[in-house]
Each structure stands twice: as structure tokens, then as C-alpha cells.
Amino acid sequence: MKSFRTLYGIFFLSGATGLVYEVIWVRLTGLVFGNTSHAIAVVLGAFMAGLALGSWKLGRYADRVPSALKLYGMLEIGIGIAAALVPFVFQSLHSVYWTLTPYIQGIPGGSMLLRFLTSFTILLVPTFLMGGTLPVLAKFFTQTAKEVQQKVGLLYALNTFGAAFGTLVAALLFIPRLGNIRTTLLIAALNVGIGVFAIILNSRWSSSISPSVVEAPTSETAVAGESAAEIADERIDSTVAGLVLMTLAGSGFVSMLYEVAWTRALTAMIGSSTYAFSIMLVTFLIGIAVGSSIASRLKSIAGLRLLGLTQLGIAVGGLIFLTGYKIAPLIVLGALRAMFFSFPAMLDRHFLLLF
């Protein structure tokens, strides 16, 4: 169990590294587009697309490999190498843009499309590898299908809290002191170190821990363990399942819109796009982690009704943010006026001037 706790710790660090990269990529992509909103949209799109594709493809591949922990280590090493190359590839893109601009300047939106496609493709490589880390480690940790909900929920929470931590560290410590390239190389070295450590652990455990295999029960086993009525009750109507999937897709779409809009709103209030993006991302990630941990314990009331209520809650939360965004400047100005123009404050200023 102690060794497993070590793996939990390095997966926390893995989540932190991923979000350090995301903050840096927003800064690098902003130099390409000259517009922070476009940069955030590209980075978020590439990040989520890469995570989804990596989780889908590499998660299926993880079921066929003999050692999931070794595969996880190789993914971490690949993430470090791919992410380390991103700043240098972005630097080389400037000459490519200047070369191709005369040929596409007559096409409406051609230059913007070129910048979008190239930036998206570059970021898709490391994020694709990141997307495979959770299902691969979940395959390693889960011995039976019943363990999936508990173990995957724990891994997801650790990775998400690590992501929030990484966002704060990137915005407040690494980037201001080290810059984009040095921070990238430092975090890439950490990814490679995590990968090497995981491979070494795998070699040590190969004789004592067998790779976990989660097999779907056959029809005969299912019938023997459950009655036909119980199986029928667990089947979900295809129409309802389709609506649930559409709801989840729409919720993800709206969430990304919220991230871009909230960053723009916070930038207008704070004046720094990097800090605004970091604040938004930390709040977003902590909310996701806390919300998912609470929802996982509500098994008795989980269902379509809870899904609908959460979507309504998200809509209400968006309206609350909009209201707060409109009121917050007035509250701040009122507090400043009370602080600087009150009678005690005037006496203090007079005293300092006379002194």
C-alpha cells in the first residue's frame, strides 16, 4: 500500500505538470495570434481534444499490454519530450508564417486558419499522451470491475487537485522567475523523471505484483450471478443513453465557453491575462474536483434528475458570475472611497503631509 501511495503522489505531480504546460502554452500561442482570447480558445480546444483522443485510443490499448505501469512510464517520458519541443517549434513557426502569408493573404481568414491549425496540431501531440495516463493507471490499479468507480475517482481527484496546484505554481512562481522556456524544460525533466521512476517500480514489482486485468463477465457468468430481471433493470434505453451523451457533450461545450468568457472578464478586472487565466483555471479545477467527489457519494439519488439539476445549477452559477462581474467594480470602488476619502483617512494624509 505504501508503494501505491507513492504512485498516487506521482500522479498528483503529473496533473500539476500538465497545467503548468497549459499556462505556458497560452502565453506562447498568444504571441502567435496576438490575441489572448484566440490563444485560450486554441489551447483549451487542443488540450481537451488531446485528452479525449488519448483517453479513448490509449485506454483501449492499455487493456492489451502486459504491464500498464510500464506503459504509464513511457507515456510520461513521451509527454516530457514532446512538451519540451513545443516552445522551440513555436519559435520556428514565425518564419513559416512569413513565407506562406503572401500566398494566403487573399483568402478571407486564411492567415488565422493557418495559425489555428498549426498551433492546434503542435499541442495535440503532448496532450494526446496526457490523455492516456488516467486510463492506463486505472487499468493498473483496478483488479475487478467493482473497483473501477472507487479507484478511478481517487485518481481523477488527485490529478485534478494536482492540476490546480500546478496552475498556481506556474503563474506565481515558475513563469515570473524562470520564463517560458526554462519552466518548460524544468517541468519536462520532471515528467521524464516520473516516467523513469514508474518503469523502475514496474521492474521491481514484476515478480510480486501481477498486472491487473479487468475482464467483462461473459453472458453465462452474468446469468449465473444475476437474475434475468436484474439484468433487464440495469439496461438503459438507447434513446435515453443518447440524450445523456448529448447532454454531456453540450455541457462540455458550454464549459469551454465559460472558461474563455470568464478569462476575458477577469482580465478586464485584473489587467493581466496570465493571472486571470490562472485564477479561472484554479477555480474551475477545484470546483470540478470537489463536485465530482460529492457526486460520487450520491449513489442513491444519482440519475437523470440529478443530471438535470446540475445543468440548471451551472446555468444559475453563470448568471451569478455575470451579476458579480457587474457589481464587483462598484463594490471595490466604494471600498476604496471609504478607505481613502473617509474623515480618518483625510486626517492621516494631512498628518503625513505636515510631518
pLDDT at 232 over 60: no
Q: Which three cell numbers stand for residue 217?
A: 463477465
This prediction's pTM:
0.73
Asked if 51 and 130 touch (Cβ cutoff 8 Å), the reply is yes
Domains, the chain: 2-215 (1.20.1250), 303-355 (no CATH)
pLDDT in tens, 155-196: 777 888 888 888 888 888 888 889 999 999 999 999 999 999
User: Which region, left, alpha or beta, applies to residue 142 given φ > 0 means left and ψ of -120 to 50 means alpha?
Assistant: beta
Q: What's the mean pLDDT in 53-57? A: 90
pLDDT at 200 over 50: yes
Q: In a 3-state reduction of DSSP, which class is residue 303?
A: coil
Place of cell 505538470: 17
pLDDT at 351 over 70: no
pLDDT for 350 equals: 42
Q: What's the mean pLDDT in 141-152? A: 58
pLDDT for 217 equals: 40
Q: What's the mean pLDDT in 55-71? A: 85
Q: How far apart are CA 281 and CA 167, in angstroms?
A: 7
Least confident of 141-150, 181-190, 239-248, 288-297: 141-150
Asked if 46 and 120 touch (Cβ cutoff 8 Å), the reply is yes
Residue 30 corresponds to which amino acid? G
Nearest to 13 by CA among 171, 188, 203, 206: 188
pLDDT at 277 over 70: yes
Model confidence band, residue 354 (pLDDT cutoffs 50, 70, 90)? very low
Q: Where are the alpha helices (DSSP H) in 63-174?
A: 68-104, 110-131, 133-141, 148-169
Asked if 80 and 192 touch (Cβ cutoff 8 Å), the reply is yes
How many H helices and E strands in the chain? Answer: 13, 0
Q: What's the mean pLDDT in 218-246? A: 54
pLDDT in tens, 317-327: 778 877 776 67
pLDDT at 295 over 80: no
Q: Which helix (H) or strand (E) holds 121?
A: helix 110-131
Burial of 312 from C-beta contacts in 10 A (0-12 / 13-18 / 19+) = exposed
Angle at 200 between CA 140 and CA 123, to 5 degrees: 70
pLDDT in tens, 35-50: 677 888 888 888 889 9
Asked if 192 and 78 touch (Cβ cutoff 8 Å), the reply is no
pLDDT at 75 over 90: yes
Write the secondary structure of 210-270 as one string of H (helix), E (strand) and C (coil): CCCCCCCCCHHHHHHHCCHHHHHHHCCCHHHHHHHHHHHHHHHHHHHHHHHHHHHHHHHHH
Angle at 125 between CA 149 and CA 165, to 5 degrees: 55
Output the average pLDDT for the chain. Answer: 76
Q: How far apart are CA 292 and CA 306, in angstroms?
A: 13
Least confident of 64-73, 164-173, 269-278: 269-278
pLDDT for 99 equals: 78
